[in-house]
Amino acid sequence: MKSDPKGVLTGVHYLDGDYACGEGAMAAGCRFVAGYPITPSTEVVERISRRFPVMGGTFIQMEDELASMAAVAGAAWTGTKSMTVTSGPGFSLMMENIGLAAMMETPCVVVNVQRGGPSTGLPTMVGQADMMQARWGSHGDYRIIALSPQSPQEAFDLTIDAFNLAESYRVPVMFMMDECVGHMTEKVVIPPAEEIDIVPRTLSSAAPGEYLPYKVNGRPVPEMVRAGDGYRFHTTGLTHDERGYPVMSAECQQLNVQRIVDKIDRHTDDIVRFDEEAMDGAEVVVVAYGITARVARMGIELARRQGVKVGFLRPVVVWPFPERRIRELAGQVKAFVVPEINLGQMVLEVERIAAGKVPAVHVPHAGGGVHDPEAISKAIVEAAR
Amino acid sequence: MSAVTAPPRMDEHPIAPYLRMDRMPHIWCPTCGIGTVVKCFATALEEADVDLDKIAICSGIGCTGRVAGYMKLDAFHTTHGRAIPFATGLKLGRPELDVVVFSGDGDLAGIGGNHFIHAARRNMDLLVILVNNFIYGMTGGQNAPTTPITAKSSTMPFGNFERPFNLPHLAASCGATFVSRWTCLHIRRLTKCMRMALRHKGFRFIEVIAPCATLYARLNRLGGGLELMRFYHDNAVIKHGADTREVDIGYQDTIVCGNFVDEERPTFLEAMHDHYEKVLGDRYVPMPPEGGWIHE
């Protein structure tokens, strides 16, 4: 279906990534946001809190990020599309209820405008060091989907995709921006509402007495109902059966947890998205995401001037990672070069998939700034030797 | 308005239509007070003649945290301490819902204390029923933020020396517009109080003192559940409208019960609507009662 024009600010704008993300959420149909102020993400909720009252949405500033994430999960169960926004320290606090949302299979979006960490770290300066936390941060086995925009335009476009993926797979989706993209101002084109595709909530048509909240009828995920529609259903963060009733057994754990993992793992090819260029005959492939993808282009250009054939792969969906493609490339190239603003996170994924066939060379940056393109080109030239 | 699915049969418990009977037997110990509170709540639902399809119930973790799971309503068994913010999301996501939070003292006043005070401050439209058994029951009798001074718990084996919360005073001072306390012995009064609270708007807080014979009474050699009920009988004093500063509970001391606060103040949603109508006029678009841009 198409978007609701009330939430779509059609036109050509000059926006920063945070504002564009907020506009993307509203265009995607988001009508409930709970948040707690934290640099460098606050502009997202500032934008939304100004726009929601004139378009039928409710924003609430909660007492902390634990509460924000809990409120978002609650609102999602009413059928209202919901989102929260934060940065590293708040992301840590949200992990508890991200796990709840994963276990209850609650569609929602969590925006993390990444700054330098750990702890309070560099509140106003860039980092990309929450990538593994996005994937593994809550306890237990579960899966999420994560996206990483490289520009304000993508902050708009991919926020819509994040909501659509959340609905398609009934999963919390992590929107992994970084401070540079969040605070960078560029042209953002917002299309008319009728050009924006929205994945609506799949509501069950079962009769109230027959509805089973976690029964999968040949679909990737079970159908949802909304609180207040007469189903009188039950859901819990405990291991549960198809009725949503707690069952404390190894057998039920296997069925429950395996299914919430499989619903993503078995649809990886449908979810994965990446850009690539110049792969034909490439000796070295650079893998980069977010702001670092843009910096890496300069590094690639410098390496090409020195005669190295460099390919470029940019994961747009970062979790699940483009495993199949990286595996193919591992049989064709001499090395991967992975610059990122952390001391080694997604490089571990490239290294795991390359499985010793070729090296995955990390170009680290501890945060607070972006890479010097020459550091990237140097790594590329050395990897090509 | 829809009634319960079927009238009670002669051979089943009168509140069976309000419960998930397919989940019985429940996990609570013999003489635990939580079942009594559930019975009072179900009776109050029946007497208040509310639309059960529009009630959502939310619990956290712990013995009382299991209540949501046994009520035949839209029910959410959430994370430890987070029932109130989860319920806040339910209320704001679909404002026509009546949202009830049913949980324990450790859950709501311990790990969830910050959410409790802020929901009260906002006068968020929630009915919060807190069953206080003075101890962490589910995990084996550890000290709670409600454990009376000198009472023993498994983590204060020599007796508690931390000052406990006076929960009605905490709720009232933070802005709750309906505040009461009863014990499990006060079945009719508690039921009536719940019925009143179901009709009240805003943040409504009912503390129910309940016996935990398995842990609290055993660790403190207070006898069984029956002895605790006798204690309530002999030591509970009803003082409606009491100054909440004076309703602290000491160890084996007087339990002041009653409806302490019952006042009208705009709820979070009422205040929001009034304010936006004032400052934005016709430009204000409130979220519809059934939720924000629902597309089926």
pLDDT tens-digit series, residues A117-148:
999 999 999 999 999 999 999 999 999 999 99
Q: Give the closest-approach CA distance of B283 to chain A in angstroms.
A: 6
Distance CA A176, CA B66 (A): 35
DSSP reduced 3-state for B251? coil
User: Would you give the DSSP letter of residue B18?
Assistant: G
Average pLDDT, chain A: 97
As a whole number, mean pLDDT of residues B265-279 equals 98
Residues of chain B with Cβ-Cβ distance to A246 below 8 Å are 69, 77
Say if residue B220's pLDDT is above 50.
yes
- Domain locations in chain A as residue ranges: 5-195, 275-384
CA B193 to chain centre: 12
The two tokens of residue A76 are: 């999602």
By the 10 Å C-beta count (0-12 exposed, 13-18 middle, 19+ buried), B84 is classed as buried
| 8 Å CB contact of A235 and B285 | no
DSSP reduced 3-state for B258? strand
As a whole number, mean pLDDT of residues B164-181 equals 98
The topology (CATH level 3) of A5-195 is: Rossmann fold (3.40.50)
Q: Give the closest-approach CA distance of B81 to chain A in angstroms.
A: 10
Q: Pick the closest to residue B61 from B79, B74, B87 (CA basis).
A: B79
Distance CA A294, CA A299 (A): 9
Residues linked to residue B258 through DSSP beta bridges, in sequence order = B181
* Helices and strands per DSSP (H, E), number in chain B: 10, 8
Measured between CB atoms, does A6 come within 8 Å of chain B?
yes
By the 10 Å C-beta count (0-12 exposed, 13-18 middle, 19+ buried), A182 is classed as buried
Distance CA B61, CA B80 (A): 5
Q: Pick the closest to residue A234 from B59, B262, B235 (CA basis).
A: B59
Question: What pLDDT, in 10s, does the model give residues A254-308?
Answer: 999 999 999 999 999 999 999 999 999 999 999 999 999 999 999 999 999 999 9
Helix (H) or strand (E) run with residue B117 in it: helix B113-122
Q: H/E/C letters for each residue in chain A?
A: CECCHHHCCCEEEEEEHHHHHHHHHHHCCCCEEEECCCCCCHHHHHHHHHHHHHCCCEEEECCCHHHHHHHHHHHHCCCCCEEEEECHHHHHHHHHHHHHHHHHCCCEEEEEEEEECCCCCEEEEECCCCHHHHHHCCCCCCCCEEECCCCHHHHHHHHHHHHHHHHHHCCEEEEEEEHHHHHCEEEEEECCHHHCECCCCCECCCCCCCCCCCCCCCCCCCCECCCCCCCCCEEECCCECCCCCECCCHHHHHHHHHHHHHHHHCCHHHHCCEEEECCCCCCEEEECCCHHHHHHHHHHHHHHHCCCCEEEEEECEEECCCHHHHHHHHCCCCEEEEEECCCCCHHHHHHHHHCCCCCEEEEECCCCCCCCHHHHHHHHHHHHC
Q: What is the C-alpha R_g of chain B?
A: 19
From chain A residues 44-83, the ones with a CB under 8 A of any chain B CB are 53-58, 60, 62-64, 66-68, 70-82
Distance CA A87, CA A17 (A): 14
Distance CA A378, CA A192 (A): 44
Q: Give the closest-approach CA distance of B134 to chain A in angstroms.
A: 25
C-alpha separations of A125 from A118, A176, A182, A334 in Å: 13, 15, 11, 34
Residues of chain A with Cβ-Cβ distance to B285 below 8 Å are 6, 53-56
Report the predicted TM-score, pTM, of the whole model to 2 decimal places.
0.97
Q: Is the peptide bond before B25 cis (omega within 30 degrees of 0)?
A: yes
Measured between CB atoms, does A235 come within 8 Å of chain B?
yes
CA atoms within 13 A on the CB side of A133: 22
Say if residue B235's pLDDT is above 60.
yes
C-alpha separations of A34 from A38, A56, A279, B89, B241 in Å: 13, 15, 43, 8, 36
Contact of A365 with A342, CB cutoff 8 Å: yes
As a whole number, mean pLDDT of residues B20-39 equals 96
What per-residue confidence (pLDDT) applies to B1? 42
- Residue for token digits 């101002």? A185
* Mutate: best of B54, B63, B67, B79, partner A, most A CBs <10 A: B79
Among B97, B115, B288, beta carbon nearest to A56: B288
Q: Give the closest-approach CA distance of A3 to chain B in angstroms.
A: 10
Model confidence at A13, pLDDT cuts 50, 70, 90, reads very high
Domains A5-195 and A275-384 share a fold: yes
As a whole number, mean pLDDT of residues A46-61 equals 97
Question: What pLDDT, in 10s, does the model give residues A217-227?
Answer: 888 899 999 99
Distance CA A222, CA A258 (A): 14
| 8 Å CB contact of B79 and A97 | yes
What per-residue confidence (pLDDT) applies to B232? 98
Q: What CATH number should be reported for the domain whose range is A275-384?
A: 3.40.50.920
Contact of B170 with B109, CB cutoff 8 Å: yes
Question: What pLDDT, in 10s, does the model give residues A318-356?
Answer: 999 999 999 999 999 999 999 999 999 999 999 999 999
Contact of A227 with B94, CB cutoff 8 Å: yes
The one-letter code for the residue type at A368 is G
By the 10 Å C-beta count (0-12 exposed, 13-18 middle, 19+ buried), A238 is classed as middle
Which residue does chain A place closest to B268, by CA atoms?
A60
What per-residue confidence (pLDDT) applies to B24? 94
Q: Give the closest-approach CA distance of B238 to chain A in angstroms.
A: 35
By the 10 Å C-beta count (0-12 exposed, 13-18 middle, 19+ buried), B264 is classed as exposed
Distance CA A88, CA A129 (A): 9
CA B95 to chain centre: 20
Model confidence at B7, pLDDT cuts 50, 70, 90, reads low
Measured between CB atoms, does A132 come within 8 Å of chain B?
no
Residues of chain A with Cβ-Cβ distance to B81 below 8 Å are 66
The two tokens of residue B146 are: 């409600």
Which residue does chain B place closest to A1, by CA atoms?
B295
Residues linked to residue A172 through DSSP beta bridges, in sequence order = A108
Model confidence at B106, pLDDT cuts 50, 70, 90, reads very high
The two tokens of residue A231 are: 């189903």
Residue contacts between A and B (CB atoms, under 8 Å): 193
Residues of chain B with Cβ-Cβ distance to A237 below 8 Å are 77-79
Distance CA B296, CA B287 (A): 17
DSSP string, B32-67: -SHHHHHHHHHHHHHHHT--GGGEEEEE-SSSGGGH
User: Would you give the DSSP letter of residue B164?
Assistant: P
The answer for residues whose C-beta is within 8 angstroms of residue B133's C-beta and 6 or more apart is B33, B63, B104, B105, B209, B210, B211, B212, B216
Say if residue A182's pLDDT is above 90.
yes
- Torsions phi, psi of B167, nearest 5? -65, -40
User: Which residue ranges form the domains of chain B, and what is each CATH number?
Assistant: 16-283 (3.40.50.970)
Distance CA A283, CA A329 (A): 10
Model confidence at B2, pLDDT cuts 50, 70, 90, reads very low
CA A55 to chain centre: 25
Say if residue B4's pLDDT is above 70.
no
Contact of A310 with A360, CB cutoff 8 Å: no
Determine what percent of chain A is predicted with pLDDT higher than 90: 98
What per-residue confidence (pLDDT) applies to B12? 86
- Residue for token digits 């299979």? A105
Contact of A188 with A54, CB cutoff 8 Å: no
The two tokens of residue B31 are: 């003489």
What per-residue confidence (pLDDT) applies to A219? 84
Measured between CB atoms, does A197 come within 8 Å of chain B?
no
